[in-house]
Amino acid sequence: MKWILGLFSLVVLAACSKPVAQDESTPATPTPAPVAAATPTPAPTPAQVAVVPHNAATPQPSTPAPELAPPGVFYLLVAVRVETDSGVTGLPPGTGVRLLHDDLYQTPAGEAHIAEGQVTNDMALARKAKSADAATQAAAQARIAADGKTIAERQRADANYKPTAQQVANKNAQDQQELRTRIATLQAQYQAVATQRDALAQKQGYENYRKATGHIVSSTSGQQVQALDGQLQTIQAEVNRLSGMLR
């Protein structure tokens, strides 16, 4: 009996000392790998923007002061006709005059009444008026010279050329047509100048009436009427000359 109990004890001790086997059906939980610390991304640096104040003054180019003539000295902006006892003298733009009083000026041709808008004391404007008149006169002279050269060349060509009778007839017909066109143009110009002259004459008559009734009138209508009369005479003389060349 004792030996049976001893054997039972040995069996029990052996069973208690055996390691417990892991259940092969349960998978082992893997150990997570260490996570590397994230490197912080630097914040973007804002772009530098130049700030211009709204009330900052913009530099403006300086305007040069006008070049003025001495006190009392003026210059013609337009051509003026001065009538004196010795005759009528035309003064071109840019001519210097001196103010006497009111609208009376001392000019190279004598004393004359000149409207305020016909003179200036701005020397830059005076130079422009003088240059423009000189350019106009030069262009007119060049045109006259060119016309004269053309006529001379045509005359020489006609002298050396022996055209046929038909060519002569055609040339004469062309010349006659050119004359008629030129005459028509001059007549239209004459009518325009005459209309302007009549309007100024009416104005002059009204001004003369006011002067006769004791009013003080400052005007150059009389001088302008005389200037237009001269233009009408010149145009009419040219019309008469060309009309005499018609056949």
Question: Strands, DSSP E only, in 16-115?
Answer: 73-76, 80-84, 87-91, 96-101, 104-107, 110-113
Q: Where do runs of H (alpha helix) occur along 161-220? A: 165-212
pLDDT tens track of the chain, all 247 residues?
555 555 555 555 555 555 544 444 444 455 555 555 555 555 555 555 545 555 555 666 667 788 899 999 999 999 998 888 878 888 999 999 999 999 999 999 889 999 988 999 999 999 999 999 999 989 998 989 999 889 988 888 878 877 788 888 888 889 899 999 999 999 999 999 999 888 888 887 877 877 778 776 667 777 888 888 889 999 999 999 999 888 7
Q: Is the pTM of this model over 0.75?
A: no
- Give the start-to-end residue ranges of the domains of the chain: 66-144, 164-247
* Whether the Cβ atoms of residue 181 and residue 239 lie closer than 8 Å to each other: no
Positive or negative: CA dihedral 68, 69, 72, 73: negative
Q: Which two tokens stand for residue 230?
A: 């001269």
Query: What distance in Å separates the CA atoms of residue 86 and residue 212, rounded to the nearest whole number?
Result: 26
Strand partners, 105: 99, 112
